[in-house]
Amino acid sequence: MISRRLRMGVNIDHVATIRNARGGPHPDPVRAARMAAAAGADGITAHLREDRRHISDNDIQRLMDEIDLPLNLEMAGTEEMLSIALRHKPHAACIVPERREERTTENGLDVAGANYDLAGYVARLADSAIRVSLFIDPNLEQVEAAHRTGAPVIELHVGTYCESAAGSERDAELERIINAVQAATDLGLEVHAGHGLSFGTVGPIAAIPDIMELNIGHFLIGEAIFGGLESSITRMRALMDNSRAAATGARSA
Ligand code: PXP
131: pLDDT confidence band, cut at 50, 70 and 90? very high
- pLDDT per residue over 29-67, tens digit each? 999 999 999 999 999 999 999 999 999 999 999 999 999
- pLDDT per residue over 193-249, tens digit each? 999 999 999 999 999 999 999 999 999 999 999 999 999 999 999 999 999 999 998
Task: Find, among 212, 226, 222, the residue nearest to 181 by Cα.
Answer: 212
CATH class in words for 7-248: alpha beta
What is the domain partition of the chain in residue ranges?
Answer: 7-248
Instruction: Check the CA dihedral 12-18-22-24 and report its sign.
Output: negative
2: pLDDT confidence band, cut at 50, 70 and 90? very low
Task: Find, among 248, 249, 247, 236, the residue nearest to 7 by Cα.
Answer: 236
Ligand 1 binding pocket, CB closer than 6 Å: 11, 13, 47, 74, 94, 96, 104-105, 135, 155, 194-197, 215-219
Mean of the per-residue pLDDT values for the chain? Answer: 95
Predicted local distance difference test score (pLDDT) of residue 3:
53
252: pLDDT confidence band, cut at 50, 70 and 90? very low
| Separation between Cα atoms, residue 252 and residue 222, nearest integer Å | 28
Which of 8, 17, 74 for a ligand 1 pocket mutation test, highest count of atoms within 8 Å of Cβ?
A: 74
| Separation between Cα atoms, residue 61 and residue 63, nearest integer Å | 6
Q: Report whether 73 contacts 93 (CB < 8 A).
A: yes
250: pLDDT confidence band, cut at 50, 70 and 90? low
72: pLDDT confidence band, cut at 50, 70 and 90? very high
